[in-house]
Amino acid sequence: MTRRAAVRARRSGTRSGAQGAQRSAELSARRVATRSRLLDGARTVFAERGVAGASVEDICEAAGFTRGAFYSNFSSKDELLLALMEQEHERTVANLQAAVEAHRAARADGPAGPEALGDVLNLFLAIQPRDRQWALMVGEFEQACIRNPQLGAVMRGLQEESQAEAAAVVEEGLASLGRRLTVPATEAVQLLQAVWLASLREELATPDGSREGNVPHMVLTLLTALTEAAEE
């Protein structure tokens, strides 16, 4: 079992109660669709009005449902926020895995070296959300954790699990490129996420476009500094 598979197995075995929603496989197709629309609506409303300023009614209106539909899927706004955060983390890890696999398929017989890091990064950034709404949503996650320490503790646990899963993908991807990290994988992921978010916010907050392209440049610079050629 790979490290990533082990992390996913641990996640599935320890998720319970308010720390996560029921497995999608256990839900009816209609309920899955309802949850998805509620999460999409919440993403939009939270980004526009903030978590504190958004009401259940606002979320239901954006999703096209009633309060009954909301409470049949989530016990509170905090539980919905947790589900939304988990969805975003899972999407990021899936996008990272897709980028690694796409690079493998495109250069199956080609050389792998430092320049390949940029190729994988560009593939990842091409499918990973980098818009204003996404950046605002991430900011709302962070502020919610600061305002509500109890919620923050649950979110931190979820984030650590997600980072461990992402770290496994990063290590596997680097190994396929003949590279390895010079620091623990989870620490590398934390550093890369911090630089990525800071660079993205700076780019979005600069209307004249002078910081366009800052995200891939900064992330690639850090990733290159954190890796070295793997020993044969």
**18: confidence class by pLDDT, cuts 50, 70, 90:** very low
Q: Whole-angstrom Cα distance, residue 232 to residue 31?
A: 51
Q: Domain 3-19+77-229 belongs to what architecture? A: Orthogonal Bundle (1.10)
Q: Which of 185, 35, 157, 167 is nearest to 96 (CA)?
A: 167
The pLDDT tens digits of the residues spanning 72-86 come to 999 999 899 989 888
Q: Where in the chain is the domain with CATH 1.10.10.60?
A: 22-73
Task: Calculate the average pLDDT of the chain.
Answer: 81
Question: Between 119 and 139, whose confidence is greater?
Answer: 139
Buried b (16+ CB within 10 A) or exposed e, 110-121: eebeeebbebbb
Q: Where in the chain is the domain with CATH 1.10.357?
A: 3-19+77-229
Q: What pTM was estimated for this model as a whole?
A: 0.73
The pLDDT tens digits of the residues spanning 197-228 come to 888 888 888 888 788 778 888 888 998 999 99
Domain 22-73 has CATH 3.40.50.300: no
pLDDT given for residue 58 in this prediction: 96
The pLDDT tens digits of the residues spanning 145-175 come to 898 888 888 888 888 888 888 888 888 888 8
- Are 82 and 158 spatial neighbours (Cβ–Cβ below 8 Å)? yes
